[in-house]
Amino acid sequence: MLVFFKELVFLNGCFFSFVIDAGLVTGADALLFRSAFKDVIFCKNSTFNIDRPEAILHDELVQQESILVRFKICCPNVQEGTSVYVIGSSTKLGNWKVQDGLKLHYTGEYIWEAYCEMPWRGCGVAVPMFSVRSEDDIGVGEFLDLKLLVDWAVESGFHLVQLLPINDTSVHRMWWDSYPYSSLSVFALHPLYLRLQALSKNLPEDVKSEIRNAKERLDGKVDSPIF
């Protein structure tokens, strides 16, 4: 027996269609949805009063930059006189305390749901600068490569881009210095991530040749920077 939840969610004044197909094909939970359990074994427990929660319109949200979250779960084996709660780390979800959690309402057909206003949270990507490679860098990611990374993040739906520390950590002149969390410097940006070709349009030819040779030698390697 397959159980599918399909719903249309309206968020932030726009129309987003989310189809959630949760198929219960195998496992012990699937047995609870068969007629033997629903209509016979759990039949005495199906006397819950239907109490559909009122949906909160986006214009009625109290906090700015908040979103409306809808919790919906199918629980066929709920004893009469008990309730279903959602708990979590936020205040609205009781800070992991069952007695302060969000109570779900019974809406029929073993479905329990509730609405809750929550702070907006974005998703993002965290990467070390040296790994942001492009065709123009010299063996390691460079600051100008961030433009491409940001473009990719926008196209992928991310809201944040976080970089590992990019401070100058040169002290031992060996692989130890590659550790990005060294406390040697908390202000100076590491010159390793500068694009030498972009420093000046009038670079001497011998410098340009040296840069090209270094690029050919280093582009094939995939290593953390060693100073």
pLDDT in tens, 86-98: 999 988 899 999 8
| Predicted pLDDT of residue 85 | 93
Just give the CATH number of 5-119.
2.60.40
Beta strands in the chain (DSSP E): 5-11, 14-20, 66-74, 85-86, 102-103, 105-106, 111-119, 124-127, 160-163
| Predicted pLDDT of residue 29 | 60
Cα within 13 Å of Cα(171), Cβ side: 12
Q: Is 41 helix (H, G, I), strand (E, B) or coil?
A: helix
**Cα gap 18→29, rounded to integer Å:** 24
| Predicted pLDDT of residue 12 | 47
- pLDDT tens readout for residues 51-84: 766 655 545 555 567 788 889 888 877 887 888 9
DSSP symbol at 66? E
| Predicted pLDDT of residue 54 | 61
Q: Is 202 helix (H, G, I), strand (E, B) or coil?
A: coil
Can you list the residues of the chain whose pLDDT is less than 70? Answer: 1-30, 42-47, 52-64, 183, 186, 221-227
Domain-wise residue ranges, the chain: 5-119, 124-218
| Predicted pLDDT of residue 9 | 45
Whole-angstrom CA distances from 72 to 43, 151, 209 are 21, 35, 63
Instruction: Give the DSSP per-residue string, 7-33.
Output: EEEEETTEEEEEEE-----SSHHHHTT
| Predicted pLDDT of residue 167 | 82
> Token pair of 109, please?
């057909």
Cα within 13 Å of Cα(162), Cβ side: 6
**Cα gap 179→183, rounded to integer Å:** 10
Task: Specify whether the CB–CB gap between 21 and 6 falls below 8 A.
Answer: yes
| Predicted pLDDT of residue 148 | 94
**Cα gap 195→142, rounded to integer Å:** 6
> Token pair of 186, please?
């908390």
CA angle 4, 9, 14 (to 5 degrees): 150
